């Protein structure tokens, strides 16, 4: 019998969160604060935003969760980056459309919805990472940062993608910022793929010893109790990052953000506004002194 705790079946056989989970864990309006950046960037350097192109996460019990990139964790930081003067280039591994958790879209937030409409064509026709690696991964391309937005979908197709790993090594080598929140840091695991290293001098995991704020594995373990997901996670990305030497600084998802060298992280949708502001201000500061 279906209850408010039952995940809701979609036409493609995946499950979106229960009605209770949607009331508790999503929002109609975000806390985007409309920050104005008086020292907005005037140059050509863009932010490369790497999105997942996969929707269905197969849970431990075999049921599939309807996921993708979380719209709040994607669009609110984008608003800050745009306000700070940065153009954003959307990319996916093969150029297939970026997947977005539409059930989490804050549809009464005018700023977010206007940006979503503006970028709709880019979301549907993103740049393939294969093309970026082949033509733009060099010392002359004008990029300020690599952005890995959140959503459980970041665990699909990105952590094992060699092109993602190569781009992370390239950005690190050029001293560019890497931005990621919630489940987005799962994609950082791609930097550990043997084929991803761009230098013979690279040893160990690129982010060994870094401190990060991420969505905690312990919270993921609890979300099936309210029907947010149709089962337990197939693997734990925080556990894998920790095994590679990462220090996860938060045990709850309560809006924590953190910056460690050129890596900026946040723990979930509650962190999206502060994360976006921190990212924008950090990029502006770096470019003003470089």
Burial 95-108 (b: 16+ CB within 10 A, else e): ebbbbbbebbbbee
pTM for the model stands at 0.96
Instruction: Output 4 or 182, whichever has higher pLDDT.
Output: 182
The CATH code belonging to domain 8-289 is: 3.40.50.880
Q: Of 197, 207, 81, nearest to 147 (Cα)?
A: 81
| pLDDT surpasses 90 at 203 | no
| pLDDT surpasses 70 at 190 | yes
Which ranges in the chain belong to alpha helices (H)? 19-25, 71-83, 110-118, 120-124, 129-135, 162-173, 217-222, 237-243, 272-289
Sheet of 15-16, strand order: 8-9, 15-16, 64-66, 56-58
Q: Contact 141/107 with Cβ under 8 angstroms?
A: no
Q: In this predicted model, what pLDDT tens digit does every residue of 123-153 receive, in sequence order?
A: 999 999 999 999 999 989 999 999 999 999 9
Q: In this predicted model, what pLDDT tens digit does every residue of 70-107 receive, in sequence order?
A: 999 999 999 999 999 999 999 999 999 999 999 999 99
SS3 content of the chain, % helix, strand, coil (to 5): 40, 15, 45
Predicted pLDDT at 289: 76
Question: Which stretch of 71-85, 88-102, 189-203, 230-244 has the lowest confidence by average pLDDT?
Answer: 189-203
In terms of phi and psi (left: phi > 0; alpha: psi -120 to 50; beta: otherwise), the region of 14 is: beta
* Distance in angstroms (rounded) separating the CA atoms of residues 49 and 90: 5
Predicted pLDDT at 198: 67
* Distance in angstroms (rounded) separating the CA atoms of residues 156 and 55: 8
User: What residue spans define the domains of the chain?
Assistant: 8-289
* Mean pLDDT of all residues in 49-61: 98
Predicted pLDDT at 204: 87
Q: What's the pLDDT band for 156 if we cut at 50, 70, 90? A: very high
| pLDDT surpasses 80 at 268 | yes
* Mean pLDDT of all residues in 48-75: 98
| pLDDT surpasses 90 at 30 | yes
Predicted pLDDT at 180: 98
* Distance in angstroms (rounded) separating the CA atoms of residues 7 and 16: 6
Q: Report phi then psi at 245, rounded to 5.
A: 105, 10
Question: Environment class of residue 88 by beta-carbon count within 10 Å: exposed (0-12), middle (13-18) or buried (19+)?
Answer: middle
The catalytic residue positions are 182
Q: What's the pLDDT band for 201 if we cut at 50, 70, 90? A: low
Give the relative orientation of helices 71-83 and 110-118 as an angle to the nearest 10 degrees: 80
Residue 143's contacts (CB-CB under 8 Å, 6 or more residues apart) are 45, 46, 47, 48, 136, 171, 174, 176
């Amino acid at each position: 019998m279906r209850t408010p705790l039952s995940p809701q079946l979609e036409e493609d056989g995946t499950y979106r969160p229960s009605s209770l989970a949607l009331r508790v864990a999503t929002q109609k309006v975000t806390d985007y604060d409309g920050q104005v950046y008086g020292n907005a960037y005037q140059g050509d350097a863009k932010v490369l935003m790497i999105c997942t192109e996969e929707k269905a996460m197969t849970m431990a019990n075999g049921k599939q969760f309807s996921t993708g990139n979380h719209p709040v964790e994607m669009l609110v930081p984008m608003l800050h980056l745009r306000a700070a003067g940065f153009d954003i280039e959307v990319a996916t591994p093969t150029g297939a459309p970026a997947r977005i958790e539409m059930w989490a879209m804050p549809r009464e937030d005018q700023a977010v919805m206007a940006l979503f409409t503006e970028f709709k064509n880019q979301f549907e026709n993103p740049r393939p990472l294969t093309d970026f690696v082949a033509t733009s991964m060099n010392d002359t391309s004008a990029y300020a940062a690599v952005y890995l937005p959140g959503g459980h979908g970041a665990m699909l197709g990105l952590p094992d993608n060699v092109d993602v790993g190569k781009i992370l090594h390239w950005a690190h080598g050029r001293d560019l910022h890497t931005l990621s929140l919630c489940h987005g840091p799962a994609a950082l695991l791609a930097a550990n793929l043997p084929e991803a290293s761009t230098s013979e001098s690279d040893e160990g995991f690129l982010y060994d010893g870094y401190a990060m704020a991420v969505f905690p594995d312990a919270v993921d373990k609890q979300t099936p109790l309210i029907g947010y997901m149709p089962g337990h996670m197939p693997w734990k990305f925080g556990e894998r990052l920790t095994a590679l030497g990462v220090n996860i600084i938060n045990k709850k998802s309560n809006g924590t953000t953190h910056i460690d060298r050129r890596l900026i992280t946040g723990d979930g949708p509650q962190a999206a506004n502060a994360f976006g502001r921190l990212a924008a201000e950090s990029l502006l500061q770096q470019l003003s002194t470089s």
